[in-house]
Amino acid sequence: MSASERPSGQQQTGRPTAGATADSAFLRACRREPVPHTPVWFMRQAGRSLPEYRKLREGTAMLESCMRPDLVTEITLQPVRRHRVDAAIYFSDIVVPLKAIGVDLDIKPGVGPVVERPIRTRADLERLRPLDPDDVKYVTEAVGALVGELGATPLIGFAGAPFTLASYLVEGGPSRNHEHTKALMYGDPALWAALLDRLADITSAFLKVQIEAGASAVQLFDSWVGALAPADYRRSVLPASRKVFDAVAGYGVPRIHFGVGTGELLGLLGEAGADVVGVDWRVPMDEAARRVGPGKALQGNLDPAVLFAPRAAVEAKADEVLEAARGLEGHIFNLGHGVLPSTDPDALTRLVEYVHTRSASRAPSVKV
């Protein structure tokens, strides 16, 4: 990153000064403090929508790119340079910690993570050993490099939640109906609880590595948990998710929880221990706030498909999100899911600028 590309407040080398990210709009919003403008970042902002990403990744498998600190650093920085988002998200994949402990899996283009030997018995469970920081030295190296480059721009750590990891492990890959997952959850609740508990430990260790290397916040992705009814979530998933959030609570960094299709679970996602609850596009922000209850910031929630509409329509829908979020204790503007691969990058850049400008005109005077 050149001096002209470096975010405001960034040092030339090394780690940022103490508190360099603390007064960022993103972290202030996470803490439900006044902000000069609504902060913006996008899930999957570092990825296939960027031509520079596709060029850099050409010929390199996904998992390999996640294990190369040079690529992770550059890919994570690309959307910060291009879009001027208020936070970077660590470039990784939810199955990286599973690969690191020896699970035989691969990410197949057009399919997703595929596990060679699914985990469905007690004997299978023993293949999941604890994650040691030495298993992911490349993460420590990449986060350290990123913190030095980003300066006053916060870095969000990344991990998959126990339920979604379990779903991939039990199904052997992506699933529409999660039939094997639910069969195990209902049919052998003791084994299911042991599986999620072990995954909670692995996920916690992975997040700790990122925080200790300098991440300013963490987000737990539970991509598939929207497949569950609230009662099943409370009984069979919430304890493991809570264990993850409790494990990193002592670091004092904001903890974000996001799942897809989780409108009926929003209150439970917050109850699991998140400081910020992510909301997909199916529930308006004001209604989401009612379901989550007080004491939590919210993140979201423009439909990613809106970005394919004309500029005026995108801005109108962004206004709807901002209006629904007016008066919330804390709001971070994001999409209701990840950036779609064929999204025009310029549409994202314009959206960041629009949200910053529009929200700044409404914000009270804030010294940061």
57 is catalytic: yes
d(CA 207, CA 358): 34
326 has catalytic annotation: no
End-to-end CA distance of the chain: 24
Please pick, among 31, 57, 282, 358, the residue that the annotation labels catalytic: 57
Dig out the tokens for 71 from the structure.
């690529």
- The rounded Cα 10 to chain-centroid distance in angstroms is 23
Hey, which residues does 222 pair with through a beta bridge?
Answer: 259
Dist. CA 354–CA 142, nearest whole Å:
31
Catalytic residue chosen out of the listed positions 6, 28, 32, 44: 44
Closest CA to 31 of 213, 212, 256: 256
CA–CA distance, 276 with 287 (Å, rounded to integer)? 15
Pairing, β 297-299 against β 331-332? parallel
Q: Find tokens 């609570």 and name the residue.
A: 249
Q: Which three-class secondary structure state does DSSP give residue 159?
A: strand
Residue from 23, 93, 106, 246 carrying the catalytic annotation: 93
Q: Annotated catalytic residue: which of 53, 90, 168, 354?
A: 168
CA distance 236 to 234: 6
What are residue 76's phi and psi, to 5 degrees? -65, -35
| Cβ neighbours of 344 (radius 10 Å) | 11
Radius of gyration, CA atoms only, the chain: 19
Element (H, E) at 331: strand 331-332
> Per the omega criterion (within 30 degrees of 0), is the bond before 177 cis?
no
**Cα–Cα dist 232/262, whole Å:** 13
Q: What is the DSSP letter of 40?
A: B
Residue 190: other Cβ atoms inside 10 A: 8
Q: Which residue is catalytic, options 15, 31, 48, 350?
A: 48
**286 CB-near residues (< 8 Å, 6+ apart):** 324, 325, 328
H/E segment holding residue 208: helix 189-213
Confirm whether 168 is a catalytic residue: yes
Active site residues: 44, 48, 57, 93, 168
